[in-house]
């Protein structure tokens, strides 16, 4: 091993050690993004709720990642059930499937900060608005039995709610600001057909941060107590496609991710310092020859030698009609007087020559017609003259 390679090796080891020390001493940064992901352990993920949901809803609980439309297409004989959607996008077809299910007696609970305006108009509900700009709000239920079971939202509350509700809706819960003056409806029940649609506009209360806080369990249980005791299906968000690649697992683990980047850096360093330029013989490549003219000449000679003028007239006629359809947009199924006039108007050629050309086309495409060399030559000249711009 020469001196240069030793120097590169020492530099590589120093760099790797520095990267390792930086990775070890790095402080983990808390992700405060509101992702509402059942697999995410960050403060505003749904990992805790995902694990507690079977016990919360009892037997018959189901979680699915397929859309409501696909779900009810697959299970068409489902009777009345509870339907749960937490801050997930619902396409129009899935929304129709959900409303059909609610109309038949199911109860739908939407826990979301964003509802499509068309959907709200369909239900005769007011649009969602930011009802407060305070840093913390208190979630309360209107039922006297749950009067003491409030939940304080003191970390990035969404503060979404209804400014007013219609007469058909029942107010179940409110959000109250610090000064007790900023009050808005954030939990309502809307009857629809034989069932009900329950809308809660603060999905943060089911995230990991608030699920783990002491004293919040009772409020969460109270909210879901408005759903009857029966099978429940939870539709999770399907808008994000998760890759099944092994790299997804490696990049999701800090230790493996650091090892992967160190490996790539070392490999790149090795390639840069170890690669040597080697001169190779560049082969001389001849440009491809254009033999289209020779091919056409050979085919023409073949037809002339065989004396098959009828076949050549038929092919010439087919090519001519194809160009008429593509370039002039004229229907060639009926070569009558209308066809002749249309061709005359679009090309400006002599109408008598066009009539003669049409007669030769009919003769060339008639398998029982007798043609001569003069017919082929005359038709070729006429057709080329008609399509000459």
Q: Report which of 230, 220, 169 is spatially closest to residue 198, judged by C-alpha positions.
A: 169
Segment 246-266 mean pLDDT: 75
Segment 333-350 mean pLDDT: 87
3-state SS, residue 147: coil
Q: Provide the 8-state DSSP code for 286.
A: P
Instruction: Report the pLDDT value the prediction gives residue 30, as an integer from 0 to 100.
Output: 81
Enter the pTM of the model. 0.58
C-alpha triplet 135, 35, 184: angle, nearest 5°: 40
Question: Which residue reads 């007669």 in tokens?
Answer: 359
C-alpha triplet 151, 155, 157: angle, nearest 5°: 75
365, containing H or E segment = helix 351-365
Contact present, 328 and 347 (Cβ < 8 Å): yes
Name 232's bridge partners. Answer: 61, 82
Q: Report which of 172, 179, 180, 137 is spatially closest to residue 158, judged by C-alpha positions.
A: 137
Instruction: Report the pLDDT value the prediction gives residue 221, as an integer from 0 to 100.
Output: 93
Torsion on CA atoms 250, 255, 261, 263, rounded to nearest 10: -90
pLDDT at position 360 over 90: no
Mean pLDDT score across all residues of the chain: 83
- In the structure, what pLDDT confidence band is assigned to residue 305 with cuts at 50, 70 and 90? low
Q: pLDDT tens, 221-254? A: 999 999 999 999 999 975 544 555 567 667 767 7
Q: Report the distance separating Cα 258 and Cα 24, nearest Å.
A: 10
CA 31 to the chain's CA centroid: 25
Instruction: Report the pLDDT value the prediction gives residue 241, as an integer from 0 to 100.
Output: 45
pLDDT at position 154 over 60: yes
Q: Report the distance separating Cα 153 and Cα 205, nearest Å.
A: 8
Segment 41-64 mean pLDDT: 92
Instruction: Report the pLDDT value the prediction gives residue 280, as an integer from 0 to 100.
Output: 63
Q: Report the distance separating Cα 18 and Cα 21, nearest Å.
A: 5
Give, in order, the Cα–Cα distances in Å from 358 to each of 310, 320, 332, 338, 372: 15, 11, 11, 12, 16
Task: Choose between 160 and 196: higher pLDDT.
Answer: 196
Give, in order, the Cα–Cα distances in Å from 149 to each of 174, 192, 279: 12, 28, 80
Structure tokens that stand for 158 in this block? 């969404």
* Cβ atoms < 10 Å from Cβ of 173: 26
317, containing H or E segment = helix 309-323
- Residue 363 CB contacts under 8 Å (≥ 6 apart), including other chains: 313, 369, 371, 375
Structure tokens that stand for 246 in this block? 């092994």
Reported as half-sphere exposure (CB side, CA atoms, 13 A), residue 286 has a value of: 3
Q: Report which of 126, 127, 119, 125 is spatially closest to residue 85, judged by C-alpha positions.
A: 119
Query: What is the percent of the chain with per-residue pLDDT over 70, rounded to a whole number?
Result: 85
3-state SS, residue 280: coil
Structure tokens that stand for 92 in this block? 């129009």
3-state SS, residue 151: strand
């Amino acid at each position: 091993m020469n001196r240069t390679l030793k120097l590169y090796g020492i530099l590589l080891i120093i760099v790797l050690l520095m990267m390792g020390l930086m990775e070890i001493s790095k402080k983990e940064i808390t992700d405060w993004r509101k992702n509402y992901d059942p697999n995410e352990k960050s403060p505003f993920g749904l990992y805790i709720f995902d694990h507690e949901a079977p016990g919360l809803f009892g037997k018959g609980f189901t979680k699915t990642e397929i859309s409501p439309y696909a779900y009810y297409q697959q299970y068409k004989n489902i009777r009345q059930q509870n339907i749960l959607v937490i801050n997930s996008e619902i396409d129009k077809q899935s929304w129709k499937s959900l409303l059909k299910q609610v109309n038949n007696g199911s109860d739908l609970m939407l826990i979301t900060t964003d509802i499509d305006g068309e959907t709200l108009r369909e239900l005769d509900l007011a649009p969602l608005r930011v009802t407060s700009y305070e840093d913390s709000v208190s979630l309360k239920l209107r039922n006297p039995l749950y009067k003491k079971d409030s939940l304080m939202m003191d970390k990035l509350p969404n503060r979404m709610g209804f400014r007013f509700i219609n007469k058909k809706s029942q107010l179940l819960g409110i959000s109250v600001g610090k000064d007790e003056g900023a009050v808005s409806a954030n939990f309502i029940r809307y009857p629809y057909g034989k069932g009900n649609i329950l809308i809660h506009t603060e999905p943060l209360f089911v995230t990991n941060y608030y699920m783990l806080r002491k004293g919040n369990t009772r409020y969460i249980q109270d909210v879901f107590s408005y759903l009857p005791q029966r099978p429940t299906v939870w539709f999770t968000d399907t808008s994000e496609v998760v890759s099944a690649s092994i790299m997804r697992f490696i990049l999701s683990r800090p230790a493996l991710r650091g090892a992967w980047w160190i490996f790539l850096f070392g490999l790149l360093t090795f390639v840069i310092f170890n690669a040597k330029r080697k001169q190779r013989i560049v082969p001389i490549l001849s440009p491809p020859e254009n033999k289209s003219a020779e091919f056409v000449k050979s085919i023409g000679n073949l037809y002339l030698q065989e004396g098959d003028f009828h076949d050549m007239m038929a092919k010439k006629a087919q090519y001519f009609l194809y160009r008429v359809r593509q370039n002039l947009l004229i229907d060639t199924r009926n070569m009558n007087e209308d066809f002749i006039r249309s061709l005359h108007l679009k090309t400006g050629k002599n109408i008598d020559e066009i009539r003669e050309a049409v007669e030769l086309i009919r003769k060339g495409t008639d398998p029982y017609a007798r043609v001569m060399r003069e017919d082929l030559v005359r038709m070729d000249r006429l057709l080329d003259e008609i399509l000459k711009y």
